[in-house]
Amino acid sequence: MTLGALAGGAAQVGLAAVFVAAAPPKVLATAELTYTLERLGVHPAIARAASPVVVAAEFLTVLGLLVSPRAALPRGLALVLAAGFTAAGMKALADRERVACACFGAFGRSARLGWRQVRLFPAWLLLVVVAQSHPPEWEATFGLQVLATLALALTVALLATGVPLWSRMRGDRIAIRQEPAIEPAGLVEAG
Amino acid sequence: MTGVLAIAVVVGILAVVLLVVVSALVELFQQVQQIRGYLDMVDRVTPLDLGRSKGVSASAVGLPAALDTADRALVLFLSDKCGSCRTIAATLAGGALPPTLTLLIEPMGDSTASIADEFELVGERVLVDHGERIATLLGLDIFPAAVLIERGRLEAAQTVPTPRQLYAALPIVQARVPARRQSTNDQMTPITKED
């Protein structure tokens, strides 16, 4: 395997990894994506219709990049989506608005649209150009294995943040549960 | 080959579904945490400033002189009018206090330590801070609160929002296990349960 082929494969997997991290968490957060689009000035009806389309496009990009690695279309779709994210960041900057970004669902709740999207566009472009210049030639089976590996790795990463959160909340729940056993002080009759 | 591809498809789909489900779960946790934070229902302690009292001996601020020789101890301040104080008092009701805990009741207004009577808080380590003299000296104006004593000196203070945080703050006393069987002549008092 040549260095170019290795770089092309790595760039393709890198692109896919970003969309694997972005698409599944957004499946249950389309309302947030709709809100983000509305804040960017998109008509509410169009924003509602566009949210699932964006998520579906991200899923299609992942599948295309990994299952059909030689095809140029998934890389083109990745570039279009990246351009869309950058445009959203620029719009938020131009409007001087603090727009919450549902970019990665549970992975990045506090993220906001802005310079980050603009700065990342060259990186997107570089990955697409490298992958396009040396398109990977793996089989669909291997691509699906990569997909499963990426998804499981991200699941483990999510659990690493979710388990401590669950542990804290369980402690709070135990503490709160003890409260109803006591009559609130305000209800105790004086004298 | 078709079989391998079918298995890869199933595994890929299951892995993505698992990621979606775990994402939803974490999202749910974050939302519950956000709601609890908004409703002030998070069980979290707040450090309190002891000011000039930090580092002084326990008896210097009016606490029992026995605490001056304590390696580690906790003094819990309970007001007889706050809801959280009553919750904590209820967990201590009727039984012996943990060995490292001293309880200070802050009677509000004209009341005379009613929380101690109501929850049967009795013993040598249950005291009443008349006129909030000690609490005022320490600058404590929020209850329930606790002051940690280390080697007889006031080390730190914090709020105690729940019984869970009280037990978390309590210094642990290592049980002293005799290295060998003691003879009956030793001055040891067996622990007996009183009826």
DSSP letters along B99-121, please?
A: TTEEEEEE--TT---HHHHHTT-
Question: What proportion of chain B, given as a percentage, has pLDDT over 90?
Answer: 17
Q: For residue A25, give how far its alpha carbon lies from the nearest alpha carbon of chain B (Å).
A: 5
The DSSP bridge partners found for residue B153 are B57, B150
| Tokens, residue A61 | 């990009």
Residue A164 has pLDDT above 60, yes or no: yes
Residue A180 is predicted with a pLDDT of 45
Q: For residue A170, give how far its alpha carbon lies from the nearest alpha carbon of chain B (Å).
A: 10
Residue B111 is predicted with a pLDDT of 57
**Cβ–Cβ gap B19/A141 under 8 Å:** no
A105 touches chain B (CB under 8 A): yes
Residue A19 is predicted with a pLDDT of 92
Residue A133 is predicted with a pLDDT of 92
Residue B32 is predicted with a pLDDT of 86
**Cβ–Cβ gap B27/A24 under 8 Å:** no
Residue B181 is predicted with a pLDDT of 43
User: Distance (Å, rounded) from C-alpha B158 to C-alpha B170?
Assistant: 12
Residue B109 is predicted with a pLDDT of 67
A163 touches chain B (CB under 8 A): no
B19 touches chain A (CB under 8 A): yes
Which band of pLDDT confidence, cut at 50, 70 and 90, is reported for residue A95?
confident
- Tell me which residue in A106, A148, A162 faces B15 most closely, judged by beta carbons: A148
Residue A187 is predicted with a pLDDT of 36
Q: Which long-range contacts (CB under 8 A, 24 or more apart) does A149-153 make?
A: A149/B15, A150/A13, A150/A16, A150/A17, A150/A20, A151/A20, A151/A24, A151/B12, A151/B15, A151/B16, A151/B18, A151/B19, A152/B15, A152/B18, A152/B19
- Tell me which residue in B27, B33, B164 faces A175 most closely, judged by beta carbons: B164
Q: What is the CB neighbour count within 10 angstroms for residue B3?
A: 7
User: Distance (Å, rounded) from C-alpha B42 to C-alpha B34?
Assistant: 10
- Tell me which residue in B36, B83, B163 faces A185 most closely, judged by beta carbons: B83
Residue A63 has pLDDT above 70, yes or no: yes
The DSSP bridge partners found for residue B72 are B150
Residues 98-157 of B with CB under 8 A from A: none
A165 touches chain B (CB under 8 A): yes
**Cβ–Cβ gap B15/A155 under 8 Å:** yes
Give yes or no for a contact between B82 and A185, defined as CB atoms under 8 angstroms apart: yes
Residue A183 is predicted with a pLDDT of 39
A chain contacts of residue B38, beta-carbon cutoff 8 Å: none
Quick: pLDDT tens for B15-57.
999 998 998 888 888 888 888 877 767 777 888 988 888 888 9
CA-based nearest residue in chain A for residue B161: A175
Which band of pLDDT confidence, cut at 50, 70 and 90, is reported for residue A71?
very high
Residue B15 is predicted with a pLDDT of 93
Residue B182 is predicted with a pLDDT of 40
Q: What are phi and psi of B165, to 5 degrees?
A: -70, -30
Q: Measuring CA to CA, how many Å separate B39 from each of A190, B14, B33? A: 28, 37, 10
Residues 45-74 of B with CB under 8 A from A: none
**Cβ–Cβ gap A24/B82 under 8 Å:** no
Which band of pLDDT confidence, cut at 50, 70 and 90, is reported for residue A13?
very high
Instruction: Using 50 as the pLDDT threshold, list the residues of chain B that sit under it.
Output: 177, 179-195
Residue A82 is predicted with a pLDDT of 93
Residue A28 is predicted with a pLDDT of 77
Question: What proportion of chain A, given as a percentage, has pLDDT over 90?
Answer: 50
The DSSP bridge partners found for residue B156 are B148
The DSSP bridge partners found for residue B132 are none
Most confident of the following: A29-43, A116-130, B32-46? A116-130
A46 touches chain B (CB under 8 A): no
Q: Where are the alpha helices (DSSP H) in chain A?
A: 3-27, 30-39, 44-67, 73-95, 115-133, 140-177
Residue B161 is predicted with a pLDDT of 84
Which band of pLDDT confidence, cut at 50, 70 and 90, is reported for residue A126?
very high
Higher-confidence residue of A98 and A44: namely A44
Residue A59 has pLDDT above 90, yes or no: yes
**Cβ–Cβ gap B30/A106 under 8 Å:** yes
Which band of pLDDT confidence, cut at 50, 70 and 90, is reported for residue A168?
confident
User: Distance (Å, rounded) from C-alpha A35 to C-alpha A30?
Assistant: 9
A chain contacts of residue B167, beta-carbon cutoff 8 Å: none
Q: Where are the alpha helices (DSSP H) in B53-132?
A: 83-92, 114-118
pTM, rounded to two decimals: 0.64
